[in-house]
Chain A
Amino acid sequence: MENKPLNHDDAIDKTLAALKHAAPPQGMESRILQRLQQQPAPAAQFFWRDLLTGSALAGAWWRGALSGAATAMLLVGALLLAQHTLRTKQPAVSQLAPTHNLVPAVLPVAASAPNSPASANPCPTLLRTARAVPVYRAESLPDASFAPSHPAPVLPLTAEERALARLARTADPKLLAALSPETQARVEAQEADNYNKFFAPPPAPPQPADNPSPTNMQPPAPIQGEQI
């Protein structure tokens, strides 16, 4: 039992030593070299870095600045190009050519009702608006602006429509059948009938001839000639 840890250590060391002394297979180096010779050399690429490596410019501090400036110029160019593309693609409001005349949104009060009592007002006529709203007249708009550019998007369902759709998918067929107008009318008629039956006044009981009830007794007719 005491030798057990020693055995483990020994086993571990032997295994690691075996890994350490593992010899490569015969001819491995030559096979690798042969494979490397067969491998096509990587394509020689020209880098500006190579050009600068041997020249007096190598290591110059402004190499970084130069590359930074070039990158910045590229970025600015890309930005300008993107802006230009956006501008040309937009159906610009300016292209819709607001009509030549700007119409005031609200006419002067005096002009709208010349004979109204307001005209008798000694106060001067006031314009209700000071600004003019551009009005786009249909004839001035290009035809392309009226043509649908794409199919109109499907409108979203209203809450009721959604509830109905959900009901149609999930509800019991009997329940769905009960929703039809005919069935509902029939049910309502039946309910009304039942209601009338239930709350209708009870029929009057038949009056027996020989046993008059005191409630139905008529006051005796006054005898003719009797004076009070």
Chain B
Amino acid sequence: MDAIGEQSLQWFAAERVEAEPDLVPLVHDYSGLLYRVALSLVRNPAEAEDVVQDVFLRVLERKRELAAIVDLRPWLVRIAWNLALDRCRRVRPRQMDDLFAEALVSADLPADQALDEAGRIRQVLGAIERLPGKEREALLLSAMDELSTVEIAAVLGRSESSVRSLLFRARAHLHQRLED
């Protein structure tokens, strides 16, 4: 009886290991992208790192389903995006815009130029913040080189053409707001 129980336990364990991929390569491959995705929304490095950590914790909880997911990247980005949006509701990004803009400026620039650059980035970030929700999301995701339009569409739950149209409108609105 014991032998049979042990055998079936081993069988189940073997099945489980086979079905569940290791998380370490996932962290190596996707943590950078997920960090940038989260940072574009929360605008705080520590918060963005927390979001990435939360993403992988969620993945750990759903480890069994990983094998069934065809395209991991949009799936992970979508989780990160939703978690970052959720965090944005609690933390106001405008309070962080100043520090964030300074952090985005290249360190090689002279101080006066860096100040000017930071001011301009802050202005653009403010204008992005005032964009309609979907346009803002499409524009921020388009900033990530790793994501194609198809993947952005998958993350936002829209069609590819809709994403293109959103991007066009976002640019136009951004110009208007910066000129005002």
Measured CB to CB, the residues of A under 8 A from B are: 4-5, 8-9, 11-12, 14-20, 22-25, 28-29, 31-33, 35-36, 39, 41-42, 44, 46, 50, 53-54
Contact = CB atoms under 8 A, between A and B. Distances in A.
A35 B50 CA distance: 11
Interface in B89-113: 104-105
**Binding site of B, secondary structure by majority: helix, strand, loop or mixed?**
helix
A54 B31 CA distance: 34
Contact of B15 (A17, A35, A41, A53): A53
A29 B35 CA distance: 10
8 contacts: A8-B175, A9-B175, A12-B174, A28-B52, A32-B27, A36-B23, A39-B60, A42-B61
Contact of B63 (A22, A28, A31, A42): A42
Interface string B42-59: 000100010011001100
A23 to B, nearest CB: 8
B136 interface: no
B60 to A, nearest CB: 6
Interface residues of B, number: 43
B61 to A, nearest CB: 6
A53 B45 CA distance: 43
Given A8-B178, A8-B179, A19-B39, 19 more contacts: A11-B178, A14-B124, A15-B104, A19-B36, A20-B145, A22-B35, A22-B36, A22-B39, A24-B31, A25-B45, A28-B52, A29-B28, A32-B27, A32-B52, A32-B53, A33-B27, A39-B57, A42-B61, A44-B12
A25 B39 CA distance: 11
Nearest to A4: B179
Given A14-B117, A36-B57, A39-B60, A24 B35 contact: yes
Contacts of A12: 124, 171, 174, 178
Contacts of B61: 42
A8 B179 CA distance: 8
B12 A50 contact: yes
Contacts of A28: 31, 35, 49, 52
Given A22-B104, A33-B27, A44-B16, A15 B32 contact: no
Interface of B: 11-12, 15-16, 23-24, 27-28, 31-32, 35-36, 39-40, 45, 49, 52-53, 56-57, 60-61, 63, 104-105, 117, 120-121, 123-125, 128, 139-140, 142-145, 171, 174-175, 178-179
B60 A25 contact: no
Contacts of A36: 23, 27, 56-57, 60
Nearest to A23: B32
Contacts of A11: 120-121, 123-124, 178
Contacts of A18: 104-105, 121
A38 to B, nearest CB: 10
A54 B104 CA distance: 52
Contacts of A17: 143
A15 B103 CA distance: 11
B125 to A, nearest CB: 6
**Nearest 7 CB-CB pairings of A with B:** A18-B104, A16-B143, A15-B124, A24-B35, A8-B178, A19-B143, A11-B120
